[in-house]
Structure 1
Amino acid sequence: MLTKVLLILLGMSIILPSRSEEPHVESENGPSAHEDVYGPQPQAPEKKLLSEETMRTLTGPHRRLGKLPAATHILNSILNNYDHKLRPSIGEKPTVVTVELSVNTLGPISILDMEYTIDITFCQTWYDERLRYNGNFESFVLNGNMVSQLWIPDTFFRNSKRTQEHVITMPNQMVRIHKDGKVLYTIRMTIDAGCLLHMLKFPMDSHSCPLSFSSFSYPESEMIYKWEDFKLEINEKNSWKLFQFDFTGVTNTTETISTPAGDFMAMTLFFNVSRRFGFVAFQNYVPSSVTTMLSWVSFWIKKDSAPARTSLGITSVLTMTTLGTFSRKNFPRVSYITALDFYIAICFVFCFCAVMEFAVLNFLTYNRMKPRASLKLRHPHIRARALTPPRARAHEHPEAFVCQIEDSEESDGEEGPSCPAQQSLSRDTIQSPGGCCKWCKKYFCVVPSCEGSIWQQGRLFIHIYRLDNYSRVVFPVTFFFFNVLYCLVCLNL
């Protein structure tokens, strides 16, 4: 009995120390399988956060980027054995390139340099069987960095003088590859293209500025261009810089150009513009017309005021010369005469004729008065004879001009010299060759007052001393009819 009690105590003494040491060993060796029973340890929250972050990393991004490896695999597979130096279907058939344009900005048009600026988005489409692929992607959109790895048509603009490709912030190029091998290549560029301007009708002219492009190295047998149902987007809402012109439309043509390298297909777009008349009218036509009409003021100034009439006429002529030079300042040096040049030249002729009218009037007036004055000074005895009744002297000398010389130098109000000669004309006197030439006597009356009728022997006599009165009517009427005829001809050419 005693032995049994000792054995029980010995067993209890062995079991109790082992249970007291067990929690200490777990704390030293780390978490065990009993942490759910005993509750979370201090390290448990950190481990739980790590597990949640790991799950987000492993699930979320992989779900969004799950197709990235597939897309990379497709691109690598189609570009692995791709030779960008060779065109599609080489040796089998020509490559058909479909073209489409979008005009961003048109202008300005430089008349002096005969060129214009255009900003376009140029789209080309073709089929490349080497780029076909199978997959869930309908197309791949690649940026300008991938352009060098693909075959691109070598299209160039035939009438371009300067071409700028936009590279900010990245090269403005885009390539789109479809499943069936269709390739779309888009590029934005600014072109300074030549435009041969025909300035014959300037400033009532209209022009067609071309934009021609073709392949540089592939002839028509290897590359063919065609329009996409002639789709041309005109963004007129943008800030176009035509200034003096109005856009009237666009047309296109297709032609074959023969060169020593072969026959190339060329596509040409014509941008039709017409000039706005307002700017040139206020800069050239209005000053020219006003200067011409200003020269007619001299017809209302007495012919005795030679300085006033002369200065006015010369000023008008010099002003027209300045206007003609100014109109050619920003103008191409063409060898033909434009409509504006012709108008300014006619205005110059009108101003010059106004000056010459006074010169003719002054010459005829004072040239006939001078001999009478010299006759009075050199032969005083003629005064007594001049006082003789005119009829008696006319009987003695029927063809003589009768002039009654007065002592007073005051004018009697009639335009002409102070000696108002009286003309006694008969049929024999008119046909007399003496004095002026026979032709002048038939049609002109060169004395201050003419007693003969206006219509005499079926001829129209012109009174020289009334030349200013004639000019006041002839010059404005002639200039008016000239302007009407000028507008009709220029608008119907």
Structure 2
Amino acid sequence: MLFAIGLLIAHLSALPTSLAVINLTADMLDQEILDSLLGPDAKYDQRVSPMPNRNEPVIVTVDLYILALSSVDVIRMSFDADFVVRQRWLDRRLNFEKARDHGNHYIAGTPALAQSIWRSDLFFVNARDAAWHEVTRPNTLIRIFPNGTVQLNQRVKASFSCQMQLSAYPFDTQNCQIELGSFGYTNTELVFLWKPDAPFTINTAIKLPQFKLRDYIRTEIYQTAHYTGKFSYLRAYIKFDRDYEYHVTQSLMPCVFLVICSWVSFWLDSEATPARVALGVTTLLAIYTQSAAVRFSLPPVSYLKAIDIWFLICVVFIFGSLIEFALVNYFTRRSLKNPAKHVRSGSFTDLSMKQPSRASAEIDAERTADGDVKTHLTRRLTTVKKRFKKVIDEDRKKAKTIDVVSRVLFPVSFLVCILVFWCVYYVNNDDQ
């Protein structure tokens, strides 16, 4: 029994040794292959591109995987992206299909291996700044396959410029792009192509505070001509759909409430001048403050935005309520000033009778009794009072009519403007 236990312990102690020998042998095989391909005795020159022949360029297939998107900045017209760029090309000088006893499908190398072989001069055309990830080590993966195919994966964080169009803000959709291409090799030496399957993918867990990522991704291949030649470029589009709910609750709806508040003056008495003036001026200043807050968060572009038109509509209606009160107040003051004006100017006397000449006055005094004069004056005063009362009633009626009409005209007009605004900007943008 003890002898059997001893044999089992000896067998277990010998097992790691045999595994270590197998791993060590595999590592030595990879080292021998790399030494034969890239060692001092090899004729590999990383300065020379692996062109199949003098008439064909090197074909490099590229695909991108977006890990994270952030900082979609409207003022700077840029967005930040954290992504992995994968390149794949054929370098026949690295072919090791004839290597014996090699069970691996590829050789995985360190960033140092990537520095020792030829690589494309890929650069990002519209990147403002970029950096390679180097924590905890440089995020670079290289694999060399037996037929000489090289796959290079690198993680990059970059800030890309995006020429945003804000005419439909806050119902806008931004088509931003990532452009990459060759910096020094012309299209006769190097050509970039998108990977046929899944050339551009985005992490589905990405959440942006003000935008939604639509299922709309488009890639294209194009060439750009410079004075040094034509260069191969790639472009990938990202569609940012602005989340307008925040702007509706924080900008659009408060403006609606301010406009409605300005309509309260239509139900106030026409002689309540301080209350109606204070209400109109306060709502006008409030909506100006609201528009200023939105304006400071946007770049000063040379065209009108949807939010500008919205604030303009609201300001026009609030200012219209002030004009309406000015008109009402005009008729009200005229109705109040007419009697006092005529009393002060002696209009009652002028309308009741004209100053006769001195000779005719003496004749009338002799012919008319005192009672007849008093009766005549009373009748003329009554006629004048009725005439002034009619004028006063007409002015007050006009002021009241203006208020009554405004109670219906302003809300209906504002509702029509809202519907037109919503159809023009929201519905059209939603169909894009």
Q: TM-score range by the shorter chain?
A: 0.7 to 0.9
Paired residues of 2:62 and 2:199 also in contact (CA < 8 A) = no
Structure 2 length-normalised TM? 0.83
Question: How many Å apart are 1:384 and its aligned residue?
Answer: 6.2
Q: Which residue of 2 aligns with 1:77?
A: 36
Letter in 1 for 2:379: T
Distance in 1, matches of 2:151 and 2:421, equals: 53
Offset of residue 68 of structure 1: 2.8
Shift of 1:421: 1.8
Note closer, same or farther for the CA distance 1:300–1:55 as it changes in structure 2 (3 Å cut): closer
Distance 2:95 2:298 in 1: 56
Once the two structures are superposed, the pairs formed by residues 277-288 of structure 1 within 5 Å of their partners are 277-288=244-255
Please state how far the C-alpha of 1:264 moved relative to its aligned partner: 0.9
Structure 2, unaligned runs of 5 or more: 1-9, 354-376
The Cα RMSD (Å) is 2.7
Q: Answer 1 or 2: higher relative contact order, Cα 8 Å, separation at least 6.
A: 2
The question of 1:421 aligning with 2:390 is answered yes
State the partner residue of 1:28.
Answer: none
Which structure is higher in helix share? 2
Q: Give the SS at the match of 2:285.
A: helix
The residue type paired with residue 91 of structure 2 is: D
Match status 1:329 vs 2:296: yes
Is 1:222 matched up with 2:189? Answer: yes
Pairs aligned (count): 386
Q: How does 1:109-148 map to 2 (within 5 A)?
A: 109-133=72-96, 134-135=98-99, 136=102, 137-148=104-115
Counterpart for residue 386 of structure 2: 404
Structure 2: distance between partners of 1:155 and 1:338:
38
Q: Distance in 1 between matches of 2:327 and 2:180?
A: 64
Distance 1:390 1:138, change over 3 A: same
The amino acid that maps onto 2:220 is T
**Matched residue type, 1:492:** N
Cα 1:290–1:155 shift into 2, 3 Å:
same
The Cα of 1:348 is off from its aligned counterpart by 0.5
Distance 1:422 1:387, change over 3 A: farther
Are residue 247 (structure 1) and residue 213 (structure 2) matched?
Answer: yes
Distance 1:143 1:220 in 2: 30
What amino acid is aligned across from residue 72 of structure 1 in structure 2? Q
* Aligned equivalent of 2:271, options 298, 304, 311: 304
Q: Distance in 2 between matches of 1:353 and 1:225?
A: 61
Match of 1:185, SS state, is strand
Structure 1 segments of 4+ aligned residues over 4 angstroms from their partners = 54-60, 382-387
- 1:98 is matched with 61
Q: 1:327 to 1:86 in 2, by over 3 A?
A: same
TM-score (ref. length: structure 1): 0.73
Cα distance, 1:178 vs. partner? Answer: 0.9
Question: What secondary structure is seen at the aligned counterpart in 2 of 1:217?
Answer: coil
Shift of 1:190: 1.0
CA distance 1:127–1:359, change in 2 (3 Å): same
Give the aligned residue type for 1:246.
K
Q: Structure 1 422/348 Cα, relative in aligned 2: closer, same or farther at 3 Å? A: closer
Percent identity among equivalent residues? 25
- What is aligned with 2:395? 447
The AA in structure 2 aligned to 1:373 is A
Q: How far has the Cα of 1:389 moved from its partner?
A: 6.9
Match of 2:395, SS state, is: coil
